[in-house]
Structure 1
Amino acid sequence: MVDRTPHTSEALASAPAPDVQATFCATLVDEWLRLGVRHAVVAPGSRSTPMALALAARSEIAIHVVHDERVAGFVALGLGLGGSPALLLCTSGTAAANFFPAVVEAGLSAVPMIVLTADRPEELRNVGAPQTIDQIELYGSHVRWFHDPDVPVAASFDSWRPLAGQAWLHAQAGPVQLNLPFREPLVGTPLALPDPMTAPSTPEPTLESHAAPADFDRQRGVILVGGASGVDPDDVARLHQMTQWPIIADAMSAMRHLDGAISTADALLRHERFAADHAPDVIVRVGRPASSKVLAQWSGRDGITMVQVGGPGRIDPDHNVSAVCSMATLLDAAPTGATGTTWLTRWRRADERAGAAIAQALTTESTLSEPGVARCVADHLPADAGLTVASSMPVRDLEWFGGRQARCHCNRGANGIDGVMSTAVGRALESGRPEFVLIGDFAFVHDSNALVALATRPADLRVVVVDNDGGGIFSFLPQATALDHGRFEQLFGTPLGSDVLAVAAAHGLATVTATSRDELAAQMTQRGPWVCRVPSDRAANVEVHAALHAAATAALD
């Protein structure tokens, strides 16, 4: 039967309040579907019932029910990494607060996300009503936009589609919060929706862009390429071809395959003479800085012209960025850089020598080390698969020892360890492709609720856990030698005593232990979800890293 109800607010004027709420939610969902939203992450609850029912009524949207709000937030983050915002819904109270870590990461990484926090109506706020907190601008400056539209009424009928469009528009640049108060009863029947509106245009990038610095075209230049750049690899290749500057490509850039890419920069710059002899005059940094502290110190020296291209906002922790430019601006300047010199050749030869020494050490080791795990994962990652790594030792091992094949995603906005597997779940759900995770036992346990119901999700997740029983990265910091062993273990080593495979098995996942490169490579071919544990020792891991750095240095000598 054709719905002949007039699409006007008058048609709703006499409708019961629950039906008005249901129509409001159905309108928002319909508009978001028209704008291209295809995923919704729902954390179960009561106050969010009107929106949850509106989402469930539309077959065009994939609904992912996630029981833990912290996990749900990072699943939505992973979905948003595909370029379109996911809807993230929760009930009122601390449920919304548990989204905070993922909202922070999305904000710092400019990941699109529409956060829908259900709330109590005005009369139940600030009066001690249960499951009620102050949700107004809960996420502060971490969101691009906030709105609290009050409880839906028929008179606001014409504003509903524009509201959805406004939320979607702002979410293109990062997370937004739409706080939605609902009154009981919460279950209603949606009536005729407002007529569709013209889709809002996508906003232009807000990062300020300047002309190229006057001293930009120098011989001794390098191109640093990191994650979250938003820059076309072909444009990076063009700049390299023009200038013959080496491309120091981080594993998160997915550009190590480019001609002129250097994959052993951390090892090269630990060689004092090489680092001094190859100090640049100009650096074009595309996207985020790499995780290497050695590279950061080398590129943060005084007297360098630092030009930022792309990235989620201005990134200038060393206060040395001379200009923020678009790649088009730099290409239009037609720089010649090091053309006709041996600058690039010297970098390439050193990279080949250091790379060969590292590969020889890692591919012939008798027991699989933590750097060996990173190299094995990089070497055997299928072409159609993604890789999410923890923001601690795994991302560094992949950057330092992953070779030219290394490519990954890492939540480096806030550099936290939380939500690693949850983010990977979102990436797998969005892409429909295999998603690998390289993670330590500490971050694995921290995000173990990501495994809840994983066996029933359409996600091919393959998790490799380096298990050294604690926080392995702290063994590389001054605390490890400045404190006695007991105090260090208490505050920094923090052994967990957790059986990571038992945790995975409790959620119905396949588990296995690998102790050799061949075993790990074979496991990587198996369809997920599964968890593979690789045992390690924190003290021995420090020695392995030192030996690898020494091997690379000896190759350069």
Structure 2
Amino acid sequence: MTRYGVGYVSSVPTKRIRPHLRRIVLGVIGDANATCCATLVDEWIRCGVRHAVVAPGSRSTPLAIALAERDELQVHVVHDERVAAFVALGLGLDGIPAVLTCTSGTATVNFHPAVVEAGLSNVPMIVATADRPPELRGVGAPQTIDQLELYGRSVRWFHDAPVPDEADPAGWRPLAQRVFSTADAGPVHLNLPFREPLLGTVGELPEPIGPPLPVPRGMAASGPATEYDRQRGVIVAGGRSGVDPDDVVALAERLGWPILADPCSGLRGAANAVDAFESMLRYREFADAHAPEVVVRVGRAPASKTLSQWIARSDAPVLQVGGPGVVDPDRNVAAFCSLDDLQALAGAGNTPWMARWRHAADRAEAAIAAALETELSEPSVARATVVASSSVDGELVVSSSMPIRDVEWFGGVTARVHANRGANGIDGVMSTAVGRALLGGPVFVLIGDIAFAHDSNALLALRHRRADVRVVVIDNAGGGIFNFLPQATALSTERFEQLFGTPHDTDLVALASAHGLDATTVDSLEQLRERLAVSGPTVTRVVSDRVENVALHDELHAAVAAALSTR
């Protein structure tokens, strides 16, 4: 028997114990719950945790109270569990995990999409789900599901903790430390079963122990980089690489190679960065004349299919640096290596390779800027939102359908964004942005109407949070990205609209206004810029036509081709 536990409680139902003994047993159980959770929270704070996201519920009472009673933590109560999980993801993007907790049952299932995204993108997250004790599992007890290994391989570690009244308190701090250390590499799932009563008095906490040891990281196998020493190389920079952008720039300058910079890479506007590569590579004459002999890819692959097809056509070996897990979607990686492995490469030397890329990029960027200067359109909205966010040193969160592509293709040199590109899902865009805004500073959001409606529960209580979120919703009455795909021309209009266009007829301004938010529709770039200058939370709707939008994109790519073909 330990100070906080009685070993016979699990085998003898408390209702069969004498009344005065039952009160003692229940008191010990409640106190053990409270003391265990207070210890976990204390240790997480010692490790550096500063934010917690609580989805309300009963079974998680001991942990929720332990979190709320610590002044060192900012506790964010979020009604919807799916929203709560993406808020935690947004909070964790800077590298420090937030604690995410909910009650037992299907509440835990609603965390899953964000856990998947965090797992694929190496975003730290401590997922602490409350659960029923073992004797209530598998017997039809209410609000009880199988929560063991619930998130599968999306989490870095799963642990079903012992019920606090049966546990050795000496193990609570080491458990908290292991959870925190392992969460450094992605989400961790700690399942916490609690017996009733859920309220109790916090007893003496176990003494603090030494700092947590870092979790060993497996290094990717390095390839013999000198085997791929070529003059005509390019560096493709994507998001979530774990590599210092300054080191990438230094390598590019030394090698004399262009950086084809995804807006998620943080390298737009850097030396040697080429920002309009999507339209440039659509011009076949330029693309063929500038086929690479070797490709260095840093982090994830950008969204551009044009880029990946160009690399595939070139048959150039790809050297992969950084990124979460194994990044080889096209199965063309010749070697996984570090930036240090690439220092032996000679690069372009005194050839005009980089100068030719820079000359073409300048022409392409000028053509895009001229075409988007005055008219309100989806590409010009993307560009205006980029400019607005960068002008106030804000963050820009974009959804993974057309917005990320419009920013990648037409956002310009200041385009630096976050997008949930691990799973590329539609869900959680607004919630992720709210998480970022809770850290302070303005956060801009560029999102489509379907994604906005899909995550509209992120608007719950948003006006009461200290969150400067400035949302721009492109309302084209459905799934705009599908109009760019073969389905749009291969199917009848009726069938396409039924299955892919999927108009929703939701009044998005009314939806946002119902949550007490400042929401309106604009019909000019000037009005949009004025709205983006206003502190949030605000929602600004821009109406677009999907068919006309496809035609405009074709015109923009044609304008770049014309600029590149001019001698």
TM-score range, shorter chain: over 0.9
Aligned partner letter, 2:393: D
Identity of paired residues, percent?
Answer: 61
Q: CA deviation at 1:302?
A: 5.9
The reply on whether 1:387 has 2:393 as its aligned counterpart is: no
Alpha-carbon distance in 2 for matches of 1:494, 1:401: 26
Alpha-carbon distance in 1 for matches of 2:3, 2:108: 34
Contact in 2 for aligned 1:378/1:402 (Cα 8 Å): yes
Q: Structure 1 stretch 52-61 or stretch 373-382: which is displaced more?
A: 373-382
- Of 398, 409, 424, which residue of structure 2 is paired with 1:400? 409
Corresponding position of 1:160: 172
* SS of structure 1 residue aligned to 2:197: coil
Alpha-carbon distance in 1 for matches of 2:432, 2:124: 14
The reply on whether 1:93 has 2:102 as its aligned counterpart is: no
Q: CA deviation at 1:511?
A: 1.0
- Of 339, 354, 363, which residue of structure 1 is paired with 2:373? 363
* SS of structure 2 residue aligned to 1:224: strand
* SS of structure 2 residue aligned to 1:20: helix
The reply on whether 1:545 has 2:553 as its aligned counterpart is: yes
Contact in 1 for aligned 2:279/2:557 (Cα 8 Å): yes
The reply on whether 1:436 has 2:439 as its aligned counterpart is: no
| Shift in alpha-carbon separation, 1:302–1:547, aligned structure 2, 3 A | closer
Q: CA deviation at 1:324?
A: 1.1
Alpha-carbon distance in 2 for matches of 1:302, 1:396: 23
The reply on whether 1:176 has 2:185 as its aligned counterpart is: no
Aligned partner letter, 1:509: L
Alpha-carbon distance in 2 for matches of 1:449, 1:310: 35
The reply on whether 1:421 has 2:430 as its aligned counterpart is: yes
Aligned runs of 1:182-331 on 2, under 5 Å?
Answer: 182-301=194-313, 303-331=315-343
Contact in 2 for aligned 1:82/1:427 (Cα 8 Å): no
Corresponding position of 1:500: 508
Q: CA deviation at 1:211?
A: 3.9
Alpha-carbon distance in 1 for matches of 2:470, 2:441: 11
- Of 361, 364, 383, which residue of structure 2 is paired with 1:354? 364
Q: CA deviation at 1:72?
A: 0.4
Gaps of 5+ in 1: 1-7
Contact in 2 for aligned 1:207/1:313 (Cα 8 Å): no
* SS of structure 2 residue aligned to 1:542: helix
Alpha-carbon distance in 2 for matches of 1:520, 1:501: 15
- Of 123, 127, 143, which residue of structure 2 is paired with 1:115? 127
Gaps of 5+ in 2: 7-23
Q: Structure 1 stretch 411-420 or stretch 149-158: which is displaced more?
A: 149-158
Q: CA deviation at 1:300?
A: 2.5
* SS of structure 2 residue aligned to 1:300: helix
Aligned partner letter, 2:180: W
| Shift in alpha-carbon separation, 1:474–1:282, aligned structure 2, 3 A | same
Alpha-carbon distance in 2 for matches of 1:300, 1:48: 51
What CA deviation, in whole Å up to 9, does each residue of 1:154-209 have, x standing for no partner? 65111000000011111000001000100111100110000001111333443414
Contact in 2 for aligned 1:285/1:307 (Cα 8 Å): yes
- Of 375, 378, 392, which residue of structure 1 is paired with 2:386? 378
Contact in 1 for aligned 2:154/2:187 (Cα 8 Å): yes
Q: CA deviation at 1:153?
A: 2.4
Alpha-carbon distance in 2 for matches of 1:300, 1:62: 48
Aligned partner letter, 1:504: A
Alpha-carbon distance in 2 for matches of 1:303, 1:442: 38
Q: Structure 1 stretch 201-210 or stretch 405-414: which is displaced more?
A: 201-210
* SS of structure 2 residue aligned to 1:229: coil
Q: CA deviation at 1:212?
A: 3.9
- Of 95, 118, 131, which residue of structure 1 is paired with 2:143? 131
Structure 2 length as normaliser, TM-score?
0.94
Corresponding position of 1:35: 47
Aligned partner letter, 1:456: H
- Of 6, 9, 34, which residue of structure 2 is paired with 1:22? 34
Corresponding position of 2:162: 150
Alpha-carbon distance in 2 for matches of 1:244, 1:258: 14
Q: CA deviation at 1:364?
A: 3.1
Q: Structure 1 stretch 153-162 or stretch 354-363: which is displaced more?
A: 153-162
User: Number of residue pairs matched?
Assistant: 545
Aligned partner letter, 1:361: A
| Shift in alpha-carbon separation, 1:107–1:118, aligned structure 2, 3 A | same
What CA deviation, in whole Å up to 9, does each residue of 1:121-142 have, x standing for no partner? 1111001111110000000000
Corresponding position of 1:467: 475
